[in-house]
Amino acid sequence: MVDAYTLVFAALLLSGGALGDRLGSRRVFLAGLGLFTVASAACAAAPTVGFLVGARIAQGIGAALLVPSSLAVLRATYPDTAERARAVGVWAAVAGIAAASGPILGGLLVISVSWRAVFVLNVPVGAVALLLAARYVAADGARRGGGFDPPGQVARGGDAAVPLLALALSGVAFAVFLAIERGAAAPMLPLELFRSRVFSASAFVGAAINFGFYGQLFVISLYFQQVRGYSALATDLAMLPEGLFVSVASAFAGRLTARVGPRVPMLIGLTTGGLGLVGLVVAGPHTPYPVLIAPLAAAGFGIAVTMPAATAAIIEAAPAHHARIAAGVLNASRQAGGTRGVAVLGTLIAGASFIGGLQAAMAVAGGASFVAAAVVAVAVRRPRAEARVRGRSARHVAQC
């Protein structure tokens, strides 16, 4: 039920961005939001598990359409770079509030009403969002003359099978995908985008930060329930410091990015988050809970500060007419990283010693953040250095 949504969401994000390029952000955003809302109602009314899984797939399709387009709408609405960075911070803060409140509210609904209420809640929210978007989101220009790239999407979806077979097939599918995109008249993913070091680094950061963060969420949730004996609701409350820092720090990150550019916030966020994840190595059967508060808060602060900056960086690094696909690349990287983080870190705790596996998993999660910080330090220039490069380029053009 979880993977039916997550895998489809991750696999279709690039196509969602490409559709926004061809058809316009507003149109695709409304279509995705409408599909997600209807699918949520279908989940709530599901008579069987199979029906519920199918409705979750439809939710994933809707999410893959609306997420890249939502960021493209921000770019079109806020042409000024600093204002756009602040808007991205608000966008991330809202997501952080949802991340913090969703599990607790969901737990309360399951206990007091029914699991179906979790999906019912989406319906009025989606309906109001549709009305607001239809009224206030302006239509933007679609890219004329472009076609679609079905072979590229088929190749990208080749990693959704039995785990070991999927691991082998995903490598083959990735090579086929690159070959298709190089030769496609209208590629779903224009590979020339990756010539930008900032673009490539930001995509890597998205994968690495979600690998550690969502892998950690999965492992620590099991730790609280299986080792400490907490209930599902008590586990959500125990992880609240992480969610609260995600909510608070996201808005701060937007303002910081607007002031100093994306490099410094990414370095601060990745380093702090990495230290928080490594700090969770101390978790044991009898570790006092207050000892875990600071590492949890640091992990939440890390992803909250990193993601708005990475989002601003990758959107700025792409040409304006590729804003939607740039957002799709970042979110696809994030979802793929999160899926792999759950798989890899979950595998580490599946051995004979849960605590030993937990410690190894937290070390791996923190290491992913530190590697991403090193990539940012090398690939993302300081604002002054970037200005000097632009100045040299302008002088060279003038001389020519």
- pLDDT for position 391: 41
- What is the spatial distance between Cα 133 and Cα 11, in angstroms, rounded to a whole number? 25
Helix 263-279 to helix 240-260 angle (10° resolution) is: 160
Q: Sorting pLDDT into bands at 50, 70 and 90, what band is 157?
A: low
64 contacts 143 by C-beta, under 8 angstroms? no
What are the respective helix, strand and coil percentages of the chain, to the nearest 5?
A: 85, 0, 15
Structural domain that includes position 290 = 2-138+187-392
Q: Sorting pLDDT into bands at 50, 70 and 90, what band is 148?
A: low
Q: Sorting pLDDT into bands at 50, 70 and 90, what band is 44?
A: very high
- Tell whether 349 is covered by a domain: yes
Q: Sorting pLDDT into bands at 50, 70 and 90, what band is 208?
A: very high
Q: Sorting pLDDT into bands at 50, 70 and 90, what band is 397?
A: very low
CA of 310: how far to CAs of 48, 52, 159, 187, 379, in Å?
40, 34, 26, 24, 12
Stretch 249-278: mean pLDDT: 87
Q: Sorting pLDDT into bands at 50, 70 and 90, what band is 129?
A: very high
Stretch 128-143: mean pLDDT: 81
Whether pLDDT at 395 is above 60: no
- Tell whether 153 is covered by a domain: no
- What is the spatial distance between Cα 348 and Cα 274, in angstroms, rounded to a whole number? 18
- pLDDT for position 130: 92
Kindly report the length of the chain. 400
Q: Sorting pLDDT into bands at 50, 70 and 90, what band is 74?
A: confident
- pLDDT for position 162: 60
- What is the spatial distance between Cα 305 and Cα 262, in angstroms, rounded to a whole number? 10
- Tell whether 34 is covered by a domain: yes
CA of 261: how far to CAs of 330, 373, 391, in Å?
18, 15, 18
The most confident of 12-16, 37-41, 64-68, by mean pLDDT: 37-41
Task: Write out pLDDT tens, residues 360-371.
Answer: 999 999 999 999
- What is the spatial distance between Cα 203 and Cα 69, in angstroms, rounded to a whole number? 17
- Tell whether 145 is covered by a domain: no
CA of 263: how far to CAs of 54, 110, 111, in Å?
41, 41, 44
Residue 287, Ramachandran bin (φ over 0: left; ψ between -120 and 50: alpha; else beta): beta
The most confident of 19-33, 39-53, 78-92, 377-391, by mean pLDDT: 39-53
Whether pLDDT at 3 is above 60: yes
The most confident of 60-74, 129-143, 375-389, by mean pLDDT: 60-74
- Alpha helices, DSSP H, located in the chain: 2-23, 25-44, 49-77, 81-112, 116-120, 122-136, 150-156, 163-183, 197-222, 232-238, 240-260, 263-279, 289-317, 323-348, 354-379, 383-399
The larger pLDDT score, comparing residue 140 to residue 222, is at: 222
The larger pLDDT score, comparing residue 199 to residue 19, is at: 199
Q: What percentage of the chain has pLDDT greater than the value 90?
A: 30
- What is the spatial distance between Cα 367 and Cα 281, in angstroms, rounded to a whole number? 12
210 contacts 269 by C-beta, under 8 angstroms? no
Q: What is the CA radius of gyration of the chain?
A: 21
Average pLDDT, the chain: 82
Stretch 42-53: mean pLDDT: 94
Greatest C-alpha distance within the chain? 73
- Tell whether 370 is covered by a domain: yes
- Tell whether 192 is covered by a domain: yes
Total number of domains in the chain = 1
Helix (H, G, I), strand (E, B) or coil at 209: helix
CATH number of the domain that 114 lies in? 1.20.1250.20
- Tell whether 166 is covered by a domain: no
- pLDDT for position 392: 42
Global model pTM greater than 0.85: no
Whether pLDDT at 197 is above 50: yes
- What is the spatial distance between Cα 110 and Cα 228, in angstroms, rounded to a whole number? 22
- What is the spatial distance between Cα 54 and Cα 4, in angstroms, rounded to a whole number? 8
- pLDDT for position 145: 47
Whether pLDDT at 126 is above 80: yes
Question: What sign does the dihedral 135-141-146-149 (CA atoms) show?
Answer: negative
- Tell whether 169 is covered by a domain: no
User: How many other CB atoms are there within 10 angstroms of residue 109's CB atom?
Assistant: 17
- pLDDT for position 163: 64
